[in-house]
Amino acid sequence: MLPSVHRVPAFSDNYIWLFEYAPDHVAVVDPADAGPVLAAAADRKLRITHILNTHWHPDHVGGNLAIKNASGCSIIGPRREQAKIPGIDRAVGEGDVVSLGDHHGEVLFVGAHTAGHIAFHFASANVLFPGDTLFAMGCGRLFEGSAADMFAALARLRGLPADTRVFCAHEYTLSNARFAVTVEPDNAALAARYAAVQQARRNHQPTVPFTLLEELETNPFIRARTVAELAARRSAKDAF
């Protein structure tokens, strides 16, 4: 059986993930805020052993210190941003392995949204935590990197198994879908997904996780064939 990943919503649109890599033991991915994480862990009797940070933005590390103080967990984050990761114990980069119980996750360098952004891929659990790099039908804004950097980052993720379950850090799906259908008006899979996510959001249901295959079929950013095409789509979305 694949491990559970528990959702903890925070702020207006953040998702914090509790990756239950062994029974009752969790790693917290990108804790925007400590309160809801500690409450969820207490409710479900989960022991927090690790925090995994994908990048330094406050809505991804804001809960680090309070969760560490409450649980004694250890914090793993991006080497190139370690000075900006509160409480970091272990700095990691491309090719490093993060072992949680029987699951050995690969660290992928995906710098673009921020310069040192990383993603965590646990192949044995079939999960990817891409932070703010890949969203449903979208990608992260280019705050510190270039379109070429994002093209390389998405190419890295594109190579993972298509059935990988993707747990991104925000519920941006509806806004992404509205834009995506303007880029690919003839994409039937995209039109169907747009209808499905409208329905889900009307019913206040989350649209994350999703599979990498869905992105390969409907996400205009991961589907961009060239850096120039990706750059044009990213700027158009910024102004959408």
| Interacting residues toward Zn ion by CB under 5 A | 57, 132
d(CA 39, CA 21): 19
Kindly tell me which of 31 and 220 has the beta carbon lying closer to Fe ion.
31
Kindly tell me which of 88 and 168 has the beta carbon lying closer to Fe ion.
168
Cis peptide preceding 220, ω within 30 of 0: no
Q: Which of Zn ion, Fe ion, none is residue 33 near (CB under 5 to 8 Å by kind)?
A: none
Q: Out of 30, 33, 50, 60, which one is annotated catalytic?
A: 60
Catalytic annotation present for 13: no
Catalytic annotation present for 60: yes
Catalytic annotation present for 57: yes
Catalytic annotation present for 55: yes
Q: Out of 30, 33, 132, 149, which one is annotated catalytic?
A: 132
Q: Out of 50, 55, 117, 121, which one is annotated catalytic?
A: 55
Q: How far is the CB of 237 from Zn ion (least distance, A)?
A: 15
Q: Are 85 and 56 in contact (CB under 8 A)?
A: yes
H-run or E-run covering 146:
none
Q: Are 64 and 87 in contact (CB under 8 A)?
A: yes
Cα separations in angstroms, 41 against 24, 117, 129: 9, 26, 19
Cα separations in angstroms, 226 against 107, 174, 222: 25, 25, 10
Q: Out of 30, 33, 50, 59, which one is annotated catalytic?
A: 59
H-run or E-run covering 25:
strand 25-29
Cα separations in angstroms, 36 against 7, 44, 168: 10, 12, 18
Beta pairing partners, 74: 50
Kindly tell me which of 30 and 215 has the beta carbon lying closer to Fe ion.
30
Catalytic annotation present for 25: no
Q: How far is the CB of 123 from Zn ion (least distance, A)?
A: 25
Closest CA to 88 of 129, 52, 40: 52
Q: How far is the CB of 141 from Zn ion (least distance, A)?
A: 8
Catalytic annotation present for 104: no
Kindly tell me which of 20 and 132 has the beta carbon lying closer to Fe ion.
132
Q: How far is the CB of 235 from Zn ion (least distance, A)?
A: 18
Structure tokens at 174: 């509806």
Q: Out of 30, 50, 113, 121, which one is annotated catalytic?
A: 113
Q: Which of Fe ion, Zn ion, none is residue 117 near (CB under 5 to 8 Å by kind)?
A: none
Q: Are 238 and 229 in contact (CB under 8 A)?
A: no
Catalytic annotation present for 163: no
Q: How far is the CB of 222 from Fe ion (least distance, A)?
A: 18
Which residues of this protein are in contact with Fe ion, per CB under 5 A? 59, 132
Kindly tell me which of 59 and 215 has the beta carbon lying closer to Fe ion.
59
Catalytic residues: 55, 57, 59-60, 113, 132, 170
